[in-house]
Amino acid sequence: MGPNVIAFSSGKGGVGKTSLSVNVASLLAQAGTKTLLVDGDLGLANVDILLNLNVETTLQDVLEQKAELSDSLAWVNNNFAVLPATSGVPDMVNQGPDAQKQMGELLDQLGSEFDMILIDTAAGIGADVLWFNHLSQISTVVLTPDPTSITDAYALIKVIWQEYDRQEFHLLLNQVQDEEEAEKFYSGLTKVCENYLQFRPQFLGHVTKDSSVQKGLRSKKPFAQEFPQSQATQDLTQIVIRLKELSMNQA
Amino acid sequence: MSTESNPKSSAAHDEACPLGTHDCPIYDQVQLLKVAHARLSQLSQTDPLTGLYNFRYLVSAVEREIERTRRTGSPTTLVMIDIDHFKSINDTYGHQVGNLALKHIAKLLKGSLRKIDIVCRYGGEEFTLILPNTRLSGGQLVAERMRERIEKSELISDDTKIALTASFGVGTFEEGMDLSGEAFIHEVDECLIRAKQKGRNQVQSVERKSIEGVSRQEKQSLNFDF
């Protein structure tokens, strides 16, 4: 078994997937876990924007053998690196089976350097989203109470299950009023999964709707660092603890 | 747009010749060029040894057929064929006999297909069939029939009977698939390699998982009403 790789996907875009993965990574790093965040959105990358990073070479450059892997890592601090992606280049080649194989090898290589690797995948259910999940030990699905987000999260789970036989998914309810609301949506979705797919997703946690998240986005710094006392940061801290437990069980 | 305002398009018509089509020197030249063009284009698309379409034609034909599948939904099946132990035929009997074997297989393939099917020589001892409007099961039947026919056929050279067999890879391009022509050919080629590895003289096909979408019932159950 290689490194502890965690994929963050959502089906629907705009549910806070990138923002959450950036903040989870920063909290993991803060707690002493050497963390790499891979921008897995090979078409519309924006991890670098949320962290205000100056990016010269990207994941695509590495995949196309134009750059060394080590030169493409952007370090936020000693414990936190980002492997950024190129934005605005629709690249079908980098989403095919060869890219999948190459990416698997890259992750193995990176595993010796990092304790934890997070992958922020693209929205949708494209081939790359599916195989990024396949290459990860843990699949995290981010959703909000928005009905379209719920349907898209379910569609994503169903497709990954069919394509790669994965039955373990960890749901992260974002932008909820409170834990009670999160659990209502979780148990609703769980019932449908049990009925039609014959397995239950796991509850990873929830993040309360919080203005500090928006403020963090605009300041281009992780809200977990800018607003450590905020409800969203406290919620996310619980999620980070669970992710660490999960990865310990995986190892 | 009227013809007067577009002299370029009107020049392309025979009627544009002021002398009419008879006794027009330009018209005669154009006719000769047309014949030469057809001959050259045929030459550039065919393999001189077997008379089959060549690799260049194959690539464009696959692109055209999968585009048709995308447009009409009717599937396109690709069969790739490789003569087993061809190198040893060349080494044992010489290259002339090797060429005879290629012609022999080409004839067998050509003689047992529909008019709309396209037979190509991929290169070396490898052939490809493009079967428009054919599902995987149909392609598998065709491949199995060909395999048997090749196995039972006789290639006689200098009173020696040379036994021939071939390996087959089969794959189908279906509507809604996100696959380039090149990737499709590659996928079927991988199957052919598998047929070789599993002991030759057999047919292997691309098995794809069918992915089922979210049904109306599932959508309704997901429409929570808290």
Structural domain boundaries in chain A: 4-250
Confidence band of A192 (pLDDT split at 50, 70, 90): very high
Residue B175: what pLDDT? 83
Residue B224: what pLDDT? 86
Residue B7: what pLDDT? 43
Residue B112: what pLDDT? 83
B212 to chain A, closest Cα gap in Å: 8
Residue B19: what pLDDT? 63
Assess whether B134 and B111 both reside in one domain: yes
Residue B138: what pLDDT? 92
pLDDT(A128) > 50: yes
pLDDT(A242) > 90: yes
- The answer as to whether B4 is a domain residue is no
| Mean of the per-residue pLDDT values of chain A | 92
Residue A89: what pLDDT? 75
Residue B188: what pLDDT? 96
B85: CATH = 3.30.70.270
Mean pLDDT score, A90-112: 79
Residue A96: what pLDDT? 66
- The answer as to whether B3 is a domain residue is no
Residue B139: what pLDDT? 94
Assess whether B188 and B131 both reside in one domain: yes
- Cα–Cα dist A87/B177, whole Å: 25
Q: Could you tell me if B151 and B29 are in contact, meaning their C-beta atoms sit under 8 angstroms apart?
A: no
pLDDT digits (tens, 9 = 90+) for A27-39: 999 999 999 999 9
- The answer as to whether B159 is a domain residue is yes
Assess whether B36 and B137 both reside in one domain: no
- The answer as to whether B105 is a domain residue is yes
Cross-strand bridge partners of residue A120: A8, A39
Residue by residue, what is the 3-state secondary structure of chain A?
A: CCCEEEEEECCCCCCCHHHHHHHHHHHHHHCCCCEEEEEECCCCCCHHHHCCCCCCCCHHHHHCCCCCHHHHCEEEECCEEEECCCCCCCCCHHHCHHHHHHHHHHHHHHHCCCCEEEEEECCCCCHHHHHHHHCCCEEEEEECCCHHHHHHHHHHHHHHHHHHCCCCCEEEEEEECCHHHHHHHHHHHHHHHHHHHCCCCEEEEEEECCHHHHHHHHHCCCHHHHCCCCHHHHHHHHHHHHHHHHHHHHC
- The answer as to whether B179 is a domain residue is yes
Residue A189: what pLDDT? 97
In tens digits, chain B (226 residues) has pLDDT values of: 343 444 444 444 455 666 666 778 788 888 899 999 998 888 889 999 999 999 999 999 999 999 999 999 899 999 999 999 999 999 999 999 999 999 999 999 999 899 999 999 999 999 999 999 999 989 999 999 999 999 999 899 888 899 999 999 999 998 878 788 999 999 999 999 999 999 999 999 998 777 788 989 999 999 988 7
DSSP state of B166: E
Assess whether B126 and B70 both reside in one domain: yes
| Number of separate domains in chain B | 2
Residues of chain B positioned with their CB less than 8 A from the CB of A162:
209, 211-212
Assess whether B100 and B197 both reside in one domain: yes
pLDDT(A102) > 60: yes
Residue B31's domain comprises 13-45
Could you report how far apart the first and last alpha carbons of chain A are, in Å?
Answer: 7
Assess whether B36 and B61 both reside in one domain: no
Residue A1: what pLDDT? 41
Interface test with B, best of A91, A196, A197, A198 (most B CBs within 10 A): A196
Assess whether B80 and B39 both reside in one domain: no
- Cα–Cα dist B157/B99, whole Å: 11
Residue B1: what pLDDT? 38
- The answer as to whether B200 is a domain residue is yes
Is B125 among the catalytic positions?
yes
- The contact set of A with B (CB < 8 A) is 92, 96-97, 127, 147, 150-151, 154-155, 158-159, 162-163, 184-185, 188-189, 191-192, 195-196
Assess whether B19 and B37 both reside in one domain: yes
Confidence band of A251 (pLDDT split at 50, 70, 90): low
Assess whether B129 and B196 both reside in one domain: yes
- The answer as to whether B224 is a domain residue is no
Considering only alpha carbons, which residue of chain B is nearest residue A157?
Answer: B214
Q: Do B222 and A162 touch (CB under 8 A)?
A: no
For A4-250, CATH gives: 3.40.50.300
Assess whether B32 and B89 both reside in one domain: no
Assess whether B41 and B142 both reside in one domain: no
- The answer as to whether B210 is a domain residue is no
Assess whether B78 and B131 both reside in one domain: yes
